[in-house]
Structure 1
Amino acid sequence: MSLKPYQSDVLDAFEAFLRAYREAGEAAPGSRHASREAFEHCTLRNFGFRIPYRAPSALAEADVPVVCLRIPTGGGKTLIGGHAIGRIKHSLMPAGHSLTIWLVPTDAIRAQTLRVLRTPGELLHDELRGLLGEVAVLDIDEALSVQPAVLDSHDTIVVATMQAFKQSDTERLAVYRPNGALMDHFRGVDQPGWSLVEALRLRRPFVIVDEAHNQGTSLAFDTLARLDPCAVLELTATPDRLHQPSNVLVSVSASTLQTAEMIKLPVEMATHGDWRIALREAIARNAGTLRTIQTPTAQRLVDLAQTRNPLGAMPI
């Protein structure tokens, strides 16, 4: 495998959390505190102090573990997410094949994620096959007609935007509508609804929420609860601190990425007591770069750097 050391460390921390969650649940079945105990135990080890676990209300009753890996932009979140499937399969799904719902914020990111998962020669494509063997990668249209034989014989990843599932009026979305193409999933099930969401929830999927800071609303977690996930993993560079504060299990610094040669541009760090000075100095150092960005805002920043006017006078 071609993981950087920090990526392996992040995945090891995630797997350690999953083991602690499983062990806490086995020690006290039905207690609904396994996520909290595992998270606080692991953050004590990872950060040196316990961080309180904040269970999203929609997932608290079932004690579904929801944790966040904070990875700066350029740190390989998609690669880490792919390897996380192997870790969760080993820890929580020892038998059978895994089902992962990989949710992204935009169609552009959806297309990019599908490409790296499907294309031979792409690092994530090749490494996932090495980890899991046969992998089926589906977009939402393909999932709407997927047959049980596919899910029974492959580790399966469904890549979709959150908006494909996220709607207060669920009848407006195809994934919630009765679908005759999915009837075989419900053999022996009492009062099936025949929808894709119900077919997925029968298998308790692992859910990855990419760029999770864009999704941290009560409706988003209500949406995840409809899938009855076995676990939810948030991947983001900027964890949500406003709507539903993220349970940050691991935080990777920019300096770690630089040491691992993941950042190709030089990074200079300095401390200033006044944020105005910090911004002014950053602008002054990068005035040449800003000139190449032909926008009025960029030009005003260049002008500011050259004249060193007080920041409060900058008309942005």
Structure 2
Amino acid sequence: MILKQYQKDIIEDLTRYLEILQKTKNISESFNEFWRLHPRTPLTPFPGEIVEPYKNNVAGVPHVCLKVPTAGGKTFIAANALRPIFSIFPQDHAKTVVWLVPSNSILEQTIRNFSNPEHPYREQLNADFGNRVEVYDKTALLQGAGFNASSVKENLSLCILSFDSLRSRNKDNRNAYKENGNLLSFAESGDEEISLMKVFQHLNPVIVVDESHNAESELSVDMLKQLNPSFILDLTATPRKNSNIISFTSAFELKKESMVKLPVIVYNHQSKDEVVNSALELRARLERAAFDAQNQGGAPIRPIVLFQAEPKTKEDNATFDKIKAMLIEKGIKENEIKIKTADKNELAGLDLMSSDCEVRYIITVNALKEGWDCPYAYILASLADKNSAVDVEQILGRVLRLPYTRKNPNPMLNMSYVLTASNKFLDTVQNVVEGLNRAGFSGKDYRIADTQVI
């Protein structure tokens, strides 16, 4: 995988900041100097402006943010960022990365991708660190499975963890803070008590915070301080006020590079049954278009519908089991339907992009609200009560990624679709706009469509 031009610009921004940091040896001054001399957007950080003076969130530690819209390839960008970051440290500085993610779905996906030697993320790390890369999840770290004092000296150690595995007021209840005999190789004296957190503190790791807008509470900042980091890199589409942004990417750049399916076409129907029928018909049309494009030499696409179910709070709610029964009753094969909720994960172990995969319908509530990655997802069909505003913004970003990051000859396959049944349709549209804003886009990136055209 080759960096897009805007991704190259981001890495150049980071590299430029690191060079200034090495010269000034002053975190705040280097941030201000970076923006004052920026070749594309020279700015003077000022309170209340788009770039404010540096915020010393973790004292003495460079802590910067990359602002990239959803579907902009934040993980690949961060993978490319590790080599320039480690280049500013002495040769004997342990190449240890603590990569923090906010949810189990993102955790599983990140571990799977970096552990796969054929995935572009891992290929990038192997190229940058001479194939000396070890990837660890929480279990491997706590068991000392390949994670020891010798391995961290020889390899890039990528430790992928959830925020919650380290974030706790009562640290005694967290395994990362407990004495651990599996990690004795890191003890400097025979009588020293050692824990995973103490190991991290000793290694002075680089921290990557994915979806960093989820990690700005007092508890989260305390977690970052506890890790004794040498550098912190935030990744998000929606930075909070205390972020030190060193690179902005506009939605226009993603559109120009064919990264996203825009505009979002929004349809409103009279009933939940109409939403389901419309979703089935629209998906079938998209699949026929994809099949025709493939016959003309295009890459294979299997359009997927995300059905957003309601929580089990009322008898008449469109819950995930009722939606599945409805789909089967309408003739959909059971093996084409998968459920992903907080308690049920039928997507585990599936490669949705595989030609052998038959999944065309995924039913969720909000389990896919961040970080889930499947460019084949085209339609978000939300089955909330028609008298309520539909909270589609929670998972709207999941249907924005364009397959293979290139436009299709058929315009239908370059757009994404939201189907609802809400009496409060204007509220629904506002939620679509909010979802686009959360993903780093704007309210101009949607269209309201006539339901008769489906």
- TM exceeds 0.5? yes
Report deviation, 1:69: 0.2
1:49 aligns to 2:29 (yes or no): no
1:139 aligns to 2:162 (yes or no): no
Deviations 1:168-210 (A, max 9, x none): 1111100111111111201249x74301111111111000000
Task: Name the structure with the higher helix share.
Answer: 1
Which of 379, 398, 421 does residue 299 from structure 1 map onto? 421
Cα pair 2:66 2:235 within 8 Å, conserved? yes
Q: What's the RMSD between the two structures over aligned residues?
A: 2.2
For 2:176, give the aligned amino acid. V
2:99 corresponding residue in structure 1: 102
For 1:212, give the aligned amino acid. S
Aligned counterparts of 1:6 and 1:39: Cα–Cα separation in 2: 21
Q: 1:41 to 1:260 in 2, by over 3 A?
A: same
SS of the residue 1:300 aligns to: coil
Aligned counterparts of 1:15 and 1:301: Cα–Cα separation in 2: 51
For 2:3, give the aligned amino acid. L
For 2:11, give the aligned amino acid. L
1:270 corresponding residue in structure 2: none
Please give the residue correspondences for 1:273-312 in structure 2 after superposition, counting only pairs within 5 Å.
Answer: 286-287=266-267, 292=279, 293=381, 294-295=383-384, 296=386, 297=390, 298-300=420-422
TM-score (normalised: structure 2): 0.57
Aligned counterparts of 1:249 and 1:303: Cα–Cα separation in 2: 38
Q: 1:226 to 1:304 in 2, by over 3 A?
A: closer
Cα pair 1:178 1:195 within 8 Å, conserved? yes
For 1:140, give the aligned amino acid. K
2:210 corresponding residue in structure 1: 210
Deviations 1:258-291 (A, max 9, x none): 111211x234xxxxxxxxxxxxxx8xx6226986
Cα pair 1:287 1:302 within 8 Å, conserved? no
Cα pair 2:268 2:421 within 8 Å, conserved? no
Cα pair 1:67 1:233 within 8 Å, conserved? yes
1:12 aligns to 2:15 (yes or no): no
Deviations 1:282-315 (A, max 9, x none): 8xx622698642333322268659xxxxxxxxxx
Aligned counterparts of 1:87 and 1:193: Cα–Cα separation in 2: 34
TM-score (normalised: structure 1): 0.80
For 2:149, give the aligned amino acid. P
Moved over 3 A (4+): 93-97, 288-292, 301-305
1:308 corresponding residue in structure 2: none
Report deviation, 1:50: 2.2
SS of the residue 1:100 aligns to: strand
1:155 corresponding residue in structure 2: 156
1:113 aligns to 2:110 (yes or no): yes
Deviations 1:20-45 (A, max 9, x none): 222222xxxxxxxx111111111223
For 2:154, give the aligned amino acid. S
Please give the residue correspondences for 1:109-258 in structure 2 after superposition, counting only pairs within 5 Å.
Answer: 109-133=106-130, 134-144=132-142, 145=144, 146-188=147-189, 192-241=192-241, 245-258=242-255
Deviations 1:35-61 (A, max 9, x none): 1111111122343212211111xx22x
Give % identity.
Answer: 26
Report deviation, 1:93: 4.5
Cα pair 1:182 1:196 within 8 Å, conserved? yes
Q: 1:103 to 1:95 in 2, by over 3 A?
A: same
For 2:2, give the aligned amino acid. S
Cα pair 2:62 2:230 within 8 Å, conserved? yes
Cα pair 2:268 2:422 within 8 Å, conserved? no
Report deviation, 1:227: 1.1
SS of the residue 1:240 aligns to: coil
Larger radius of gyration: 2
Q: Which runs of 5+ in 2 are unaligned?
A: 46-52, 270-274, 280-380, 391-419, 428-454
Higher relative contact order (Cα pairs below 8 Å, separated by 6+ residues) = 1
2:27 corresponding residue in structure 1: 35
Report deviation, 1:147: 1.3
Aligned counterparts of 2:19 and 2:179: Cα–Cα separation in 1: 37
Please give the residue correspondences for 1:55-74 in structure 2 after superposition, counting only pairs within 5 Å.
Answer: 55-56=56-57, 59-60=58-59, 63-74=60-71
Q: 1:303 to 1:180 in 2, by over 3 A?
A: closer
Report deviation, 1:116: 1.1
Report deviation, 1:120: 2.2
Cα pair 2:172 2:178 within 8 Å, conserved? yes
Deviations 1:238-267 (A, max 9, x none): 1113xxx1111111000011111211x234
Aligned counterparts of 1:107 and 1:304: Cα–Cα separation in 2: 33
SS of the residue 2:247 aligns to: strand
Aligned counterparts of 2:183 and 2:201: Cα–Cα separation in 1: 13
Aligned counterparts of 1:81 and 1:301: Cα–Cα separation in 2: 43
Q: 1:95 to 1:15 in 2, by over 3 A?
A: farther
